[in-house]
């Protein structure tokens, strides 16, 4: 994908990829330990590229692969008109975030997942930095695992209203203000997903489909724009068939 000045933004490229592939699936390339992680990633991108619109790489691959290896994976994704998301849940001071984002963009990632716990100023800085390269920021608003309620569902005092609100509502306000390019809301928390979808200003990326118990029909009905799916496809005896099944399901709603 061309990310030169004047080219389409990350959000627009995601929409284009989704329409081109007729898919809302972001493939989460998070394999169990494998002796050849780069070969694993390249093989799956080649085999599944017709059924997905993007790939998401977590520490499962970002840690064992070199900068050159990750660049190769991202180049292949772009060759097949897919977007690539770095899922490192970045959460640090602005200076550290800036260096991390710089390296990720140099490796060809189109977007970076960050944690709003970094604060408003650092979040805005990350968005500004990625937008300079026509890339994007996706922010965590509510994770998919059961323990997410301990933090994202905790009560906090709003700085604006001085009233008690849930942390995820505070994060949603922050991400709307910072003009992020996407937000993560787990498909396993339908009530939260439904509530957030009524007040969002960016597309919702929902993990937790399949293995964690999330349902595609309910996630899409209640506001998910893209479905992040990993283990249900990766652990299948036939990943292509499984990815195609999910692709057909997303196109049915």
Domain count, the chain: 1
Q: Which residue has the higher pLDDT, 192 or 69?
A: 69
Residue 80, in any domain of the structure:
yes
What was the pLDDT predicted at 1? 44
Residue 4, in any domain of the structure:
no
Q: Which residue has the higher pLDDT, 186 or 108?
A: 108
Residue 2, in any domain of the structure:
no
User: Would you say residue 174 has pLDDT above 70?
Assistant: yes
Report the CATH number that the domain containing residue 222 is assigned in CATH.
Answer: 3.20.20.70
For residues 26 and 233, what is the distance between their CA atoms, to the nearest angstrom?
11
Residue 139, in any domain of the structure:
yes
Residue 1, in any domain of the structure:
no
User: Would you say residue 2 has pLDDT above 50?
Assistant: no
pTM score, two decimals? 0.92
Query: In the chain, pLDDT over 90 holds for what percent of residues?
Result: 65
By mean pLDDT, which of 128-137, 158-167, 168-177 is the weakest? 158-167
State pLDDT tens for residues 97-106. Answer: 999 999 999 9
Question: What pLDDT band is residue 250 in, cutting at 50, 70 and 90?
Answer: confident
Please return the burial class of 172, using the count of CB atoms within 10 Å of its CB with bins 0-12, 13-18 and 19+. buried
Structure tokens at 72: 């190769």
Instruction: Supply the Cα-derived Rg of the chain in whole angstroms.
Output: 17
Q: Which residues of 10-32 are buried (b: 16+ CB within 10 A; e: fewer)?
A: bbebbeebbeebebbbbbbbbbe
CA pseudo-torsion sign 97, 103, 106, 112: negative
Domain that holds residue 119: 10-250
What was the pLDDT predicted at 226? 96
């Amino acid at each position: 994908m061309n990310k030169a000045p004047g080219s389409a933004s990350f959000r627009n490229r995601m929409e284009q990829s989704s329409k081109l592939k007729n898919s809302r699936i972001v493939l989460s390339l998070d394999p169990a330990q494998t002796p050849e992680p780069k070969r694993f990633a390249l093989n799956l991108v080649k085999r599944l590229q017709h059924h997905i619109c993007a790939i998401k790489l977590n520490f499962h691959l970002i840690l064992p692969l070199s900068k050159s290896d990750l660049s190769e994976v991202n180049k292949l994704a772009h060759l097949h008109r897919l977007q690539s998301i770095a899922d490192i849940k970045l959460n640090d001071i602005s200076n550290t975030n800036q260096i991390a984002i710089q390296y990720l963009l140099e490796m060809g990632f189109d977007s970076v997942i960050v944690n709003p716990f970094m604060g408003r100023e650092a979040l805005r800085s990350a968005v500004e930095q990625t937008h300079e390269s026509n890339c994007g920021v996706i922010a965590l608003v509510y994770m998919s695992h059961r323990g997410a309620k301990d933090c994202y569902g905790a009560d906090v005092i709003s700085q604006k209203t001085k009233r008690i609100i849930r942390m995820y509502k505070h994060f949603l306000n922050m991400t709307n203000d910072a003009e992020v390019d996407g937000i993560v809301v787990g498909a396993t928390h339908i009530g939260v997903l439904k509530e957030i979808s009524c007040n969002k200003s960016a597309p919702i990326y929902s993990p937790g489909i399949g293995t964690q118990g999330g349902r595609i029909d309910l996630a899409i009905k209640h506001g998910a724009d893209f479905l992040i799916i990993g283990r249900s496809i990766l652990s299948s005896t036939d990943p292509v068939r499984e990815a195609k099944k999910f692709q057909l399901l997303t196109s049915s709603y």
